[in-house]
Structure 1
Amino acid sequence: MGIQSVENKAKEASRDVTPREYRMYIANKAVESPRKFLDVTNKYTGVVEAKVQLATHQDIDQAIDAAVKAQPAMAALGSYERKTILLQVVTELKRRSEEIAQLLTMECGKPIKDARGEVTRSIDTFQVAAEESTRIYGEHLPLDISPRNKGLQGIVRKFPIGPISMVSPWNFPLNLVAHKVAPALAVGCTFVLKPSSRTPLSALVLGEILETCELLPKGAFSILPVSREDADMFTVDERFKLLTFTGSGMAGWGMKARAGKKKVVMELGGNAPCIVEDLVPDLDYTIQRLVMGGFYQGGQSCIHMQRLYIHERLYDQVKHAFLEAVKKLKVGNPFDEDTFLGPMISESAAKGIEEWIHEAVEKGGKLLAGGHRSGSFLEPTVLENVPMEANARKEEIFGPVVLLYSYKDFKEAVDEANNTHYGLQSGVFTSDLNKAFYAFEHLEAGGVVLNDSPSVRVDSQPYGGLKDSGIQREGVKYAMEDMLEHKVLVMRNVGVL
Structure 2
Amino acid sequence: MNKVAGAEKKHLFIHGKKVVAIEYATLYSPYSCEAIAQVAVADEKLVEAAIQSAQSGFQAISQMPAYKRASILENVVKLLGKRLDEAAEVIANEAAKPIVFARAEVSRTIETYKFAAEEAKRIHGETIPFDASPGGTGRIGYTVRKPIGVIGAITPFNFPMNLVAHKVGPAIASGNSIVLKPATQTPLSALYIAELFKEAGLPDGVLNVVTGTGSVAGEALVRDERLAMITFTGSPAVGIAIRNKAGLKRTTLELGSNAAVILDKDTNVDQVIDRHISGAFSNQGQVCISLQRIYAHEDIYEEFAEKFAAAARELKIGDPLDPDTNISALISRKETRRALEWIEEAQQNGAKLLTGGKLTADGVLEPTVMTDVDPNMKVSCQEVFAPVVILNKVRSVQEAISYVNDSRFGLQAGIYTKDIDTALFASDTLEVGAVMINDIPTFRVDHMPYGGVKESGTGREGIKYAVEEMTELKMIVWNRGE
In which range does the TM-score fall when normalised by the shorter chain? over 0.9
Q: CA deviation at 1:20?
A: 2.2
The one-letter code sitting in structure 2 at the alignment partner of 1:170 is: F
> Is the CA contact (8 Å cut-off) linking 1:345 and 1:376 kept in structure 2?
no
2:31 to 37, 44, 53: 44
The one-letter code sitting in structure 1 at the alignment partner of 2:468 is: E
Instruction: Give aligned pairs, total.
Output: 479
- What is the match of residue 286 of structure 2? 300
Q: CA deviation at 1:15?
A: 9.8
Q: Distance in 2 between matches of 1:146 and 1:54?
A: 58
Distance verdict in 2 for CA 1:69–1:17, change over 3 Å: closer
Q: Distance in 2 between matches of 1:376 and 1:63?
A: 38
- What is the match of residue 128 of structure 2? 141
> Is the CA contact (8 Å cut-off) linking 2:54 and 2:178 kept in structure 1?
yes
Q: CA deviation at 1:279?
A: 5.6
Distance verdict in 2 for CA 1:357–1:119, change over 3 Å: same
What CA deviation, in whole Å up to 9, does each residue of 1:178-209 have, x standing for no partner?
10000001001001000111110011000111
Q: Distance in 1 between matches of 2:56 and 2:309?
A: 57
SS of aligned partner of 1:305: coil
How many percent identity over aligned positions? Answer: 39
Q: Distance in 2 between matches of 1:194 and 1:114?
A: 23
> Is the CA contact (8 Å cut-off) linking 1:67 and 1:191 kept in structure 2?
yes
Mapping for residues 42-81 of structure 1, pairs under 5 Å: 42-81=29-68
1:464 to 445, 451, 459: 451
Residue 114 (1) aligns with residue 113 (2): no
Q: Distance in 2 between matches of 1:34 and 1:465?
A: 37
Q: CA deviation at 1:158?
A: 0.4
Q: Distance in 1 between matches of 2:5 and 2:375?
A: 47
What CA deviation, in whole Å up to 9, does each residue of 1:309-356 have, x standing for no partner?
001111111111111111111111111111110111111111101011
Mapping for residues 282-297 of structure 1, pairs under 5 Å: 282-297=268-283
Q: Distance in 1 between matches of 2:70 and 2:142?
A: 25
SS of aligned partner of 1:179: helix
Q: CA deviation at 1:34?
A: 5.4
Gaps of 5+ in 1: 1-13
Residue 21 (1) aligns with residue 44 (2): no
1:364 to 350, 365, 368: 350
What CA deviation, in whole Å up to 9, does each residue of 1:4-48 have, x standing for no partner?
xxxxxxxxxx998731222221012222x4532121112221000
Q: Distance in 1 between matches of 2:352 and 2:4?
A: 43
Q: Distance in 1 between matches of 2:82 and 2:135?
A: 61
> Is the CA contact (8 Å cut-off) linking 1:366 and 1:385 kept in structure 2?
yes
What CA deviation, in whole Å up to 9, does each residue of 1:120-152 have, x standing for no partner?
000000001001110112100011233232212
Q: CA deviation at 1:174?
A: 0.4
- What is the match of residue 415 of structure 1? 402
2:370 to 367, 383, 392: 383
> Is the CA contact (8 Å cut-off) linking 1:425 and 1:449 kept in structure 2?
yes
Mapping for residues 238-253 of structure 1, pairs under 5 Å: 238-253=225-240
> Is the CA contact (8 Å cut-off) linking 1:15 and 1:47 kept in structure 2?
no
Distance verdict in 2 for CA 1:318–1:22, change over 3 Å: same
Q: CA deviation at 1:246?
A: 0.3
What CA deviation, in whole Å up to 9, does each residue of 1:31-71 have, x standing for no partner?
2x453212111222100021122222111101111212332
Q: Distance in 2 between matches of 1:220 and 1:149?
A: 41
Residue 479 (1) aligns with residue 448 (2): no
Q: Distance in 2 between matches of 1:205 and 1:389?
A: 42
Mapping for residues 194-343 of structure 1, pairs under 5 Å: 194-214=181-201, 216-231=202-217, 232-278=219-265, 282-343=268-329
Residue 156 (1) aligns with residue 147 (2): no
RMSD, matched Cα: 1.6
Q: CA deviation at 1:160?
A: 0.4
Q: CA deviation at 1:235?
A: 0.8
Distance verdict in 2 for CA 1:222–1:339, change over 3 Å: same
Gaps of 5+ in 2: none
The one-letter code sitting in structure 2 at the alignment partner of 1:18 is: G
Q: Distance in 2 between matches of 1:307 and 1:241?
A: 37
Q: Distance in 1 between matches of 2:473 and 2:331?
A: 41
Q: Distance in 2 between matches of 1:409 and 1:377?
A: 36
Q: Distance in 1 between matches of 2:393 and 2:21?
A: 59
Q: CA deviation at 1:389?
A: 2.2
Give the ranges of 4+ consecutive aligned residues of structure 1 lying more than 6 Å apart after TM superposition: 14-17
> Is the CA contact (8 Å cut-off) linking 2:269 and 2:300 kept in structure 1?
no
Q: Distance in 2 between matches of 1:310 and 1:54?
A: 47
Q: Distance in 2 between matches of 1:255 and 1:292?
A: 32
The one-letter code sitting in structure 2 at the alignment partner of 1:20 is: E
2:91 to 104, 115, 132: 104
The one-letter code sitting in structure 1 at the alignment partner of 2:376 is: E
Q: Distance in 2 between matches of 1:390 and 1:64?
A: 43
Q: Distance in 2 between matches of 1:159 and 1:291?
A: 44
Q: CA deviation at 1:373?
A: 2.0
Mapping for residues 339-358 of structure 1, pairs under 5 Å: 339-358=325-344
Q: CA deviation at 1:98?
A: 0.3
SS of aligned partner of 2:131: coil
What CA deviation, in whole Å up to 9, does each residue of 1:451-476 have, x standing for no partner?
12111111111111100000001111
Distance verdict in 2 for CA 1:199–1:16, change over 3 Å: closer
What CA deviation, in whole Å up to 9, does each residue of 1:211-262 have, x standing for no partner?
2233x33321210102344120111101000000000111111111011110
> Is the CA contact (8 Å cut-off) linking 2:73 and 2:200 kept in structure 1?
no
SS of aligned partner of 1:144: helix
Q: Distance in 2 between matches of 1:16 and 1:188?
A: 37
Q: Distance in 2 between matches of 1:376 and 1:150?
A: 73
2:392 to 380, 405, 410: 405
Q: Distance in 2 between matches of 1:229 and 1:252?
A: 13
The one-letter code sitting in structure 1 at the alignment partner of 2:270 is: D
The one-letter code sitting in structure 1 at the alignment partner of 2:131 is: D
